[in-house]
Structures are given as C-alpha cells and as structure tokens.
C-alpha cells in the first residue's frame, strides 16, 4: 500500500484506498490529485515526495469526501502547498463537519464524527481552470457528490475520482454512494465515450478502456432503481424501504451504512419521482412512496 506507480513519463498514482494522482511539473515540483484518507496517509505521501526530491506545489481535490481530502492538512502544514477544490466541495473541504451533517440530515451523532466521514480542516481555494498547471484540463463529473471534478494530464492520463466503482465493489455491496442519480448516469455516459492513454479511477484498476466498466455501473444503477420501484408497488415509508434493500443485498446496518446507503436510497427515490416512476404522499403524518404502474 502507498506504492508509487508510474503510468507515463510524468504521471504517477499512489496505490492507496483511494488512489492519489501525482504529476511531475517543472523544476522538481509536483502536484497531487487528492491526498488520501487521513494524517497518516499524508505522512506516507510526504515520505514518497522526500525520497524522490520532489516539492509539492498543490493538491487538486476531486471532491470533498474524507478519504480524498484527509491528507490535506498534514501536507499543507508540512509543505506549504496550496489546496484547491471545486464549488460546493471547497466549502466542505474548509468545513469538513458538513459531510456527516449532510449525510445525517442534522447535527451528526458522535458515531459519525470520525476521520472516515470528517477530515481535518484545510485551507482550500476555489478550483478554476486558470489555477491548473499548464496542459491540464478539468472534467466535470457530477452525480457522486456535489461538484466532483476529474483531471486530464498533459500526457493524456485521466483521473476519474469516484464516478464509477469496480465490478468487485458492486458485486459485494451492490449500492454505492450517489448524490444525484440523474447526473450520475449522465456522467457515466460521458465517461463511457471518453478516450485517453490511461484512466485512473479512485476505486478501480487503471485501464486504457473505460467503456465496459462505465456501462456496468450504468446497469447497476438501473437495476437498483428497478428494485426500489418493485419494493414500492405497495406504499412504503422510507425506513421500511431501506430495511428491505439491506436484507435483499445482504448488508449489515450500522451508523455509517445507515447514512451512506440511506442518503443514496433517498436520492434514488427523488430521481424516480422526477422521472414519473414514483409518487410521494403524506398520510398519518408519515411520508409514503408508491411506484407508478
């Protein structure tokens, strides 16, 4: 873990739970794409930088989930690097308590206020195309989170962040975190048509052809949407829908799964409602969901 893997002459990734991109710039400078999940990840990255005589100039965060920004503070404190994040992600990076608060829908219980859902604060600046190194381009990848970004390097390596999951992850967990289902499907369709020298997803193996995996993820989303629609053939409240999903997919409920899978199921229900595949109504001071026949 945390081995440095060379992809092209100037582009690398650091093998870690969420892959970290590293690109050599001019004069011994490098930039990172994401920073790992915590302070220990930051230390390990710093050790790699020092071993190669590289100076870290900037971290470009794809999005603000804790496993992607957790090393920011350590690296910023130890190197003076700048940190950039896009749109809403910048606010979450500056104020990481927003992540568990958003997921829980209120002040998060203590069981959710930990490094896996709440990174340390870092001083983030807004990510715009003009702050990228020469030859880089930013790719909008909405859907997984609020304003996720991918990056294409000058040597045609594309870092895809969390816009898709590996087949193994989908087979094991079935349901992965999605904020906006419609935007997520659109992103996957866009990614499916992309060409690059190499694609580096954060949670899947690098590949020169991403199309099959993108389609596999699209099919998985549609399968879950169909399952939720079938569950709601008779009126259901949210907690019952979530319990049936957990039982069907063999998942075990805990605080993290409750907020991550629960938020995702709510996103599916909102999307199904907007697509005209489900209705919602209030009865007996409860919200009910019903599939449209």
pLDDT of 169-199, one tens digit each? 999 999 999 999 999 999 999 999 999 999 9
CATH class name, domain 163-181+208-293: mainly alpha
Q: Which residue has the tokens 């971290």?
A: 59
pLDDT at 74 over 80: yes
Determine the pLDDT at residue 259.
98
Determine the pLDDT at residue 289.
98
Determine the pLDDT at residue 49.
98
Q: Name the CATH topology of 4-162.
A: Metallo-beta-lactamase; Chain A (3.60.15)
What separation in angstroms does the CA of 8 have from each of 12, 28, 50, 72, 199?
7, 17, 20, 25, 12
> What are the boundaries of each domain within the chain?
4-162, 163-181+208-293
pLDDT band at 293 (very low <50, low <70, confident <90, very high): confident
pLDDT (average), residues 243-249 = 97
pLDDT band at 240 (very low <50, low <70, confident <90, very high): very high
């Amino acid at each position: 873990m945390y081995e440095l893997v060379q992809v092209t002459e100037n582009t690398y990734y650091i093998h870690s739970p969420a892959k970290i991109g590293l690109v050599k710039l001019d004069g011994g400078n490098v930039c990172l794409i994401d920073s790992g999940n915590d302070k220990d990840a930051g230390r390990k990255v710093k050790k790699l930088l020092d071993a190669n005589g590289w100076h870290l100039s900037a971290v470009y965060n794809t999005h603000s989930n804790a496993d992607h920004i957790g090393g920011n503070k350590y690296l910023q404190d130890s190197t003076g690097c700048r940190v950039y994040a896009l749109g809403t992600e910048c606010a979450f990076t500056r104020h990481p308590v927003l992540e568990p608060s958003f997921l829980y829908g209120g002040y998060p219980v203590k069981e959710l206020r930990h490094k896996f859902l709440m990174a340390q604060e870092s001083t983030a600046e807004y990510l715009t195309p003009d702050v990228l190194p020469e030859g880089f381009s930013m790719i909008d990848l909405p859907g997984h989170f609020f304003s996720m970004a991918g990056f294409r390097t000058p040597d045609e390596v594309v870092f895809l962040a969390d816009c898709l999951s590996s087949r193994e992850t989908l087979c094991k967990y079935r349901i992965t975190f999605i904020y906006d289902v419609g935007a997520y499907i659109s992103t996957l369709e866009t990614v499916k048509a992309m060409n690059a020298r190499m694609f580096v997803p954060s949670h899947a193996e690098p590949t020169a052809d991403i199309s099959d995996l993108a389609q596999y993820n699209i099919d998985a989303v549609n399968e879950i949407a169909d399952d939720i629609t079938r569950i709601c053939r008779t009126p259901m409240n949210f907690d019952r829908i979530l319990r049936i999903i957990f039982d069907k997919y063999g998942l075990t409920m805990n605080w993290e799964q409750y907020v991550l899978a629960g938020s995702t199921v709510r996103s599916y229900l909102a999307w199904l409602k907007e697509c005209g595949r489900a209705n919602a109504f209030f009865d007996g001071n409860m919200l009910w969901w019903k599939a449209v026949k």
